[in-house]
């Protein structure tokens, strides 16, 4: 008997339910093929539910999710709800209360996918961003006085504890070790690096030239931890320069680790370079608890119900979830099916231009498994 996993499904708003339906279809097919089952509970939290009931999240929401092995999330955001309410009240609250301190965002160009970066191929765009996911300005400390007057003063504190920094860095170093074993050294390394025994590279992204206190903490902690991982070559890049290299030389990157807001910003850039929101997936991870996987794109309200939205990001998120749960073969098979679909079938990643409907893309992935 294969394993059974308890999955909480949060389809959310807009096109969220449509893409999640396809992800679930693929989960079922992968389960049949690879010998596992999923026990799913769906929660309809989101903008629609908030407008109908006035409740953003029930009090026991976090407790309910904690009873699962993982969470699969569609999209949160509703045009009739003031920006910030659902983002803070659902997405950020869950990330915080489930202590999902890592946001793992692979930037991977699948074959056949159009990238806005001229002359870059799939082998050039294949790195992972480890975004710290609960600290920094997202901590929510700050305030304003004389609010609404010409003398208003506002501040939003950028805070990190050493523990938060260390646990994030540890995850990133370990990922770098795992991503490339001895037999698979990474291309970003020079021959000299390889001779020196390095197998992978970890780049810390910050702004140590200006934000000296917080980035100084990250940098010190990074260099103190590095000797524990002698195979990982360390590098440092200012965040502004990072956006240049992500466009000009994405092949230089292997694993990037960075703080929350910088990670938020550079991963949107990364998502565009890998073909846009239709294909970019991510995971909010608590390595000691319950993790939540989601397509990075939003709820895309204008496409709701039309059957034109691209479900590959959600399907990719489901694959990440399976990999995280230990179903590595199933995850790899789904990734391969996505690559075949993008390489030989789909005309475009954009909504309405795929040459397939949303559910046909789900069926296609199932048939390619």
Shortest distance in whole angstroms from residue 189 CB to ligand IPM: 30
Beta-strand runs (E) in the chain: 4-12, 37-42, 70-75, 102-108, 126-132, 142-145, 153-156, 200-206, 232-238, 255-258, 281-285, 291-295
> Distance between CA atoms of 108 and 222, rounded to whole angstroms?
25
Cβ(108)–Cβ(274) under 8 Å?
yes
> Distance between CA atoms of 247 and 113, rounded to whole angstroms?
16
Shortest distance in whole angstroms from residue 326 CB to Mn ion: 28
Q: What are phi and psi of 198, to 5 degrees?
A: -75, 140
From the list ligand IPM, Mn ion, none, partner contacted by residue 87 (C-beta under 5 to 8 A by kind): ligand IPM
From the list Mn ion, ligand IPM, none, partner contacted by residue 28 (C-beta under 5 to 8 A by kind): none
> Tokens in use for 296?
């990075």
> Tokens in use for 139?
């901590």
User: Where do we find the tokens 């976090």?
Assistant: 62
Residues near 332 by beta carbon (within 8 Å), at least 6 away in sequence:
323
Indicate whether 132 belongs to the interface with Mn ion (CB under 5 A). Answer: no
Interface mask (CB under 6 A) for ligand IPM, residues 235-274, using x and -? -----------------------------x----------
Shortest distance in whole angstroms from residue 92 CB to ligand IPM: 6
Which span sits near ligand IPM by CB under 6 A: 36-44, 87-95, 228-236, 304-312?
87-95
Shortest distance in whole angstroms from residue 264 CB to ligand IPM: 5
Which span sits near ligand IPM by CB under 6 A: 40-48, 66-74, 86-94, 343-351?
86-94
DSSP line for 148-190: TSTT-EEEE--B--HHHHHHHHHHHHHHHHHHS-TTS--TTS-
Interface mask (CB under 5 A) for Mn ion, residues 45-64, using x and -? --------------------
Shortest distance in whole angstroms from residue 265 CB to Mn ion: 7
Shortest distance in whole angstroms from residue 248 CB to ligand IPM: 23
Indicate whether 91 belongs to the interface with ligand IPM (CB under 6 A). Answer: yes
The shares of helix, strand and coil residues in the chain, as percent rounded to the nearest 5, are 45, 20, 35
SS3 233: strand
Indicate whether 92 belongs to the interface with ligand IPM (CB under 6 A). Answer: yes
Shortest distance in whole angstroms from residue 271 CB to Mn ion: 9
Number of residues that bind ligand IPM (CB under 6 A): 4
> Distance between CA atoms of 174 and 178, rounded to whole angstroms?
6
Shortest distance in whole angstroms from residue 154 CB to ligand IPM: 19
Cβ(267)–Cβ(296) under 8 Å?
yes
- Give the pairing of strands 255-258 and 232-238: unpaired
- Residue from 87, 166, 360, 363 binding ligand IPM (CB under 6 A): 87
Which span sits near ligand IPM by CB under 6 A: 22-30, 85-93, 196-204, 326-334?
85-93
From the list ligand IPM, Mn ion, none, partner contacted by residue 126 (C-beta under 5 to 8 A by kind): none
From the list Mn ion, ligand IPM, none, partner contacted by residue 92 (C-beta under 5 to 8 A by kind): ligand IPM
> Distance between CA atoms of 23 and 294, rounded to whole angstroms?
10
Indicate whether 264 belongs to the interface with Mn ion (CB under 5 A). Answer: yes
Question: Where do contacts with Mn ion occur on this chain (CB under 5 A)?
Answer: 264
Question: Where do contacts with ligand IPM occur on this chain (CB under 6 A)?
Answer: 87, 91-92, 264
């Amino acid at each position: 008997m294969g394993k059974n996993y308890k999955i909480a499904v949060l389809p959310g708003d807009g096109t969220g339910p449509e893409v999640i339906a396809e992800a679930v279809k693929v989960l079922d097919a992968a389960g049949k093929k690879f010998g596992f089952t999923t026990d799913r509970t769906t929660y309809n939290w989101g903008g629609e539910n908030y407008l109908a009931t006035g409740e953003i999240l029930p009090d026991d929401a976090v407790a309910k999710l904690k009873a699962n092995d993982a969470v699969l999330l569609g999209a949160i955001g509703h045009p009739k709800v003031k920006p910030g309410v659902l983002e803070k009240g659902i997405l950020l609250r869950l990330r915080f209360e489930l202590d999902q301190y890592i946001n793992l965002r692979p930037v991977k160009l699948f074959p056949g996918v159009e990238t806005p970066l001229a002359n870059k191929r799939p082998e050039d765009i294949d790195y992972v961003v480890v975004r710290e996911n609960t600290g920094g300005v997202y901590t929510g400390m700050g305030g304003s006085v004389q609010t609404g007057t010409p003398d208003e003063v506002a501040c939003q504190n950028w805070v990190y504890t050493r523990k938060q920094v260390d646990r994030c860095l540890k995850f990133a170093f370990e990922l770098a070790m795992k991503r490339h074993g001895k037999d698979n050294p990474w291309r970003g390394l020079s021959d000299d690096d390889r001779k020196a025994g390095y197998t992978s590279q970890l780049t810390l992204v910050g702004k140590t030239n200006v934000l000296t206190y917080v980035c100084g903490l990250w940098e010190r902690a990074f260099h103190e931890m590095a000797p524990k991982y002698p195979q990982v070559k360390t590098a440092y890049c200012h965040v502004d320069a990072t956006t240049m290299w992500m466009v000009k030389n994405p092949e230089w990157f292997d694993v990037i680790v960075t703080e929350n807001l910088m990670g938020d910003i550079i991963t949107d850039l990364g998502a565009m370079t890998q073909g846009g929101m239709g294909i970019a997936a991510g995971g909010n991870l608590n390595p000691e608890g319950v993790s939540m996987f989601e397509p990075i794109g939003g709820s895309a309200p204008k496409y709701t119900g039309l059957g034109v939205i691209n479900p590959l990001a959600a399907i990719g998120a489901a694959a990440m979830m399976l990999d995280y749960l230990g179903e590595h073969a199933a995850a790899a098979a789904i990734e391969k099916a996505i690559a075949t679909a993008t390489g030989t079938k789909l005309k475009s990643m954009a909504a309405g231009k795929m040459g397939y409907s949303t559910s046909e893309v789900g069926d296609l992935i199932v048939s390619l498994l």
